Amino acid sequence: MSAVLVRAEALKKTYGTGALAVSVLRGISLEVEAGSLVLLMGPSGSGKTTLVSILAGLLRPTAGRIELCGRDISALSEAQVAAVRRHHLGFVFQTYNLFPALSALENISEVLKMKGFAPREARRRAQDALARVGLGDRLSHRPGELSGGQKQRVAIARALAGDPALIFGDEVTAALDTSTALRVMDLLRAQVTPERAILIVTHDRRLEKYADRVIHIEDGRVVSTTEVAQQPGGLEAQP
Ligand SMILES: Nc1ncnc2c1ncn2[C@@H]1O[C@H](COP(=O)(O)OP(=O)(O)OP(=O)(O)O)[C@@H](O)[C@H]1O
Ligand SMILES: [Mg+2]
């Protein structure tokens, strides 16, 4: 039995109040186990970004309960939730969110220093992480000197460098061409370990084959959950 890293029960989210209230999540329950890659799919406006923000402790639900890495974050203060995020979570976004003036290495090491790592350790981890995503020869390149796929790999390296139990991604391939997008997904898939899970929000059906589970949401509700059998040895071993 794998540990459950995310457990959401009956989540609801309403933006605004009174006549302007918009009910975006209408009772969502889901689990993400360690060792799995889960895709959260649904049409534009269905509440995917809202849901992932709530699961990652960035936004409070209107109702419902969330356990993140074994902690009931509904019961924690903002500072305690921030500490869970800092120690256990990594994030990858559609637009990379890299600092343009910093090198690939500094983009990662500066974040690690903010998380509390000593400068030398931060640098060593940043170097290791960039090597792991195949960018060991791009340490001093700035984002403007990297391709879209390379920028996303720096962002993945940044997410990995703190050795998170959970990686959250929102439309991580939306800005990339097909072959680059699939290579980025191969790379993310390879980061799933028995202790780690990855949850990715997307409306790109080409990504389904990388997932262990695909959760479809529509209009703020889960409409289906599909388990996908992964080949032992990964996608590259398939014909
Ligand atoms: N801060 C906010 N205040 C009010 N309404 C919001 C807010 N954020 C999102 N919404 C509304 O909530 C709904 C869901 O938005 P959300 O961003 O979660 O959708 P999504 O599934 O991620 O869409 P997309 O695929 O286009 O990114 C939308 O109708 C949106 O207008
Ligand atoms: Mg979104």
Domains of the chain, residue spans: 37-57+78-237
Which of 41, 48, 50, 170 to mutate for ligand 1's pocket (most ligand atoms within 8 Å of CB)?
A: 50
Q: State pTM to two decimals.
A: 0.93
d(CA 129, CA 8): 30
SS3 24: strand
Query: What ligand has the least distance to the C-alpha of 44?
Result: 1
Query: What ligand has the least distance to the C-alpha of 48?
Result: 1
Is the pLDDT at 237 greater than 50, yes or no? no
Query: What ligand has the least distance to the C-alpha of 53?
Result: 1
Is the pLDDT at 54 greater than 80, yes or no? yes
Given the CA of residue 53, which atom of ligand 1 is nearest to it?
A: 18
Instruction: Evaluate whether 167 touches 92 at the Cβ level (below 8 Å).
Output: yes
For residue 79 the two structure tokens come to: 């500072």
d(CA 49, ligand 1 centre) in Å: 7
Q: Which amino acid is at 25?
A: L
44 lines ligand 1 (CB under 6 A): yes
22 lines ligand 1 (CB under 6 A): yes
Q: For 37-57+78-237, which CATH superfamily applies?
A: P-loop containing nucleotide triphosphate hydrolases (3.40.50.300)
Helix axes 119-132, 148-161, angle to 10 degrees: 130
Pick the residue whose CA is nearest to atom 16 on ligand 1. Answer: 47
Question: For ligand 2, a single-atom ion, which residues have Cβ within 5 Å?
Answer: 48-49
d(CA 45, CA 52): 13
- Mean pLDDT across the chain, nearest whole number? 93
Confidence at residue 2, expressed as pLDDT on a 0 to 100 scale: 83
Which of 39, 40, 46 to mutate for ligand 1's pocket (most ligand atoms within 8 Å of CB)?
A: 46
198: Cβ–Cβ under 8 A, 6 or more apart, which residues? 36, 37, 38, 166, 167, 168, 169, 188, 189, 191, 192
d(CA 45, CA 26): 13
Pick the residue whose CA is nearest to atom 3 on ligand 1. Answer: 15
24 lines ligand 1 (CB under 6 A): yes
Is the pLDDT at 82 greater than 90, yes or no? yes
Tens-place pLDDT, residues 11-46 = 999 999 988 999 999 999 999 999 999 999 999 999
